Amino acid sequence: MLPAPYAKEPVFEAHRWHAAESSYRKVAGLFGYQEVRTPIFEDIELFLRSSGETSDVVSKEMYDFKDKGDRHVALRPEGTAPAMRAYIDSSMGGQGVVSRLCYFGPVFRYNRPQKGRYRQFHQAGYELIGSPSPLADAEIITATVRYFKEIGLDNLVVKVNSIGRAETRGAYELAILSHVDKWLDGQDEEQQAKARKNPLRLLDTKDPDLRAELDGLPSILGFLGDDSKANFAALQEHLAESGVAYEVDDSIVRGLDYYTDTVFEVVSTEYGALCGGGRYDGLVEQLGGPSTPSVGVGIGVERALLVADMAGKAPRAEAPSRWYVVAATESARAAARTLAIELRSMGVGCTLDLDGRSVKAQFKQADRNGASMTAVLGDDELANETVSVKDLVTGEQKTLPRHVFLRIADD
Ligand code: AMP
């Protein structure tokens, strides 16, 4: 037997991807975002510099390897850093320029697969680059909510938080370390070093002992500087103004190092986070570009589709073509082929039997193909230059002059 694929469930049904992608493109159009397509693999340095070496994504989950030229490369584990690199490389920015970029594509993480967690999955992302305004944060969150709405998910609540600037993080990290002092003493050296290097990550823990230890830890919101506080208040006002349902959740800190101030998630009870985003004012500079405030989101498309399934909003399969041309007699087969050629030359999709099947079998094939209409040619139709049309959904039948049929076929 072949090994199990890296990604399954909704992944193989293309009509779901068409729905997911057309929703993504619709939102891009509504808010004015331009798509970038970046390579699947990148120099590993890009992710080391952006995500931070202690992040789970970089330290445990990266698919990285040396190529034949001894270059250390990685399959992209997320979409933001490549989009930002593309932004810097193509010199899209510039003083005072705001760029709106978006992407949709596969990303790769080495983790334990389960429903809603795959080693290859897809992210749709929106990045607003060049504005420090909380209006930019609100726009990204509003576009995210609109994306979920487009794929059928209406009643989602966005969880927002602010993790402030470097000073806030520094002070809060010290507060975390002193709060879990006793627990930390009981850990091995490696664990201690890791915790000291990035104490915020402790807040993501699933370890029940540490969870208990973290009880009573003061909120990061109490450590915010004045600017961060004002931005967070403004963001909430703008969200309310846009009609976005949100709640403040000070436990959200996000797994990647590059976030500043706003962080947000939409969480489902069954599959965890459906998206993650926030502001990352230092990222462009960290990647070698000019200092550029930015905010963005990465949406987990498989999870969003799974939740849409549960809500009874699974995208419906589209028929590959609407018409099936049926030859009712042997002598009508050539005329059926000619009619199919004509329909296609007019831009109307159709399918027809290639294997001399009986009329009954042709109707069965039409049904199986998802066609909703059949155009039937038999001896009478050939003699009278007509086409008999049967609507497979309503059962309605009528015979039309051939030229009239050709006029209505693309309606
Ligand atoms: P992140 O870049 O970690 O914030 O991830 C963004 C979104 O991608 C998450 O909110 C999830 O919806 C989704 N995601 C992350 N990891 C996986 C995975 N292994 N399989 C499927 N979706 C994932």
Query: Measured in whole angstroms, how far is the alpha carbon of residue 84 from the centre of its chain?
Result: 17
3-state secondary structure of 69: coil
User: Which residue out of 60, 117, 159, 264 has the highest number of ligand 1 atoms within 8 Å of its CB and is therefore the one to mutate?
Assistant: 117
Q: How many CA atoms lie within 13 A of 215 on its CB side?
A: 6
Q: Alpha-carbon distance 192 to 351, whole Å? A: 66
Q: Tokens in use for 73? A: 């490369």
Please state which CATH class domain 323-409 belongs to.
alpha beta
Choose among 3, 315, 361: nearest CA to 150.
Answer: 315
DSSP lists the bridge partners of residue 386 as 401
Nearest protein CA to atom 20 of ligand 1, as residue = 117
- Tokens (6 digits) for 198: 């990035």
Cα of 274 from ligand 1 centre, angstroms = 7
- Give the global pTM: 0.88
The Cα–Cα gap between 403 and 385 comes to 8
Ligand 1 centroid – CA 351 distance (Å): 40
Backbone φ, ψ for residue 208 (5° rounding): -60, -35
Query: Which of 109, 144, 283 best tests ligand 1's pocket when mutated (most atoms within 8 Å of CB)?
Result: 109
What is the chain's length?
A: 411
Q: Residue 157 half-sphere exposure, CB side, CA atoms within 13 Å?
A: 6
> Angle at CA 390, nearest 5°, toward 387 and 396?
125
Task: Quote the ligand 1 centre to 263 CA distance (angstroms).
Answer: 15
The fold of the 14-164+224-310 domain, in CATH, is BirA Bifunctional Protein; domain 2 (3.30.930)
**Domain boundaries along the sequence of the chain:** 14-164+224-310, 323-409
SS (HEC) of 296-347: EEEEEHHHHHHHHHHCCCCCCCCCCCCEEEEECCHHHHHHHHHHHHHHHHCC
Helices (DSSP H) in 38-127: which residue ranges?
Answer: 44-51, 56-59, 80-89
User: Ligand 1 pocket: which residues have CB below 6 Å?
Assistant: 78, 109, 111, 117-118, 121, 123, 255, 273-276, 298, 300, 302-303
Residue 181 Rama label (left phi>0; alpha psi -120 to 50; beta) = alpha
Type and span of the H or E element at 169: helix 166-179
Pocket of ligand 1, candidates 50, 122, 144, 275: which has the most ligand atoms within 8 Å of its Cβ, to mutate? 275
Closest ligand 1 atom to residue 80 Cα is 2
Tell me the helices (H) and strands (E) count for the chain, helix number first: 16, 16
| C-alpha 300 – ligand 1 centre gap (Å) | 5
What does the alpha-carbon distance between residue 344 and residue 400 come to, in Å, rounded to a whole number? Answer: 19
Per-residue pLDDT tens listing for the chain (411 residues): 666 655 555 556 788 899 999 999 999 999 999 999 999 999 999 999 888 776 778 778 999 999 999 999 999 999 999 999 999 988 776 667 899 999 999 999 999 988 899 999 999 999 999 999 999 999 999 999 999 999 999 889 999 999 999 899 899 999 999 999 988 998 899 888 888 888 988 888 888 989 899 999 999 999 999 999 999 999 999 999 999 999 999 988 865 667 899 999 999 988 889 999 999 999 999 999 998 999 999 999 999 999 998 999 888 877 788 999 999 999 999 999 999 999 999 999 999 999 999 999 999 999 998 899 999 999 999 999 999 999 999 999 999 999 999 999 987
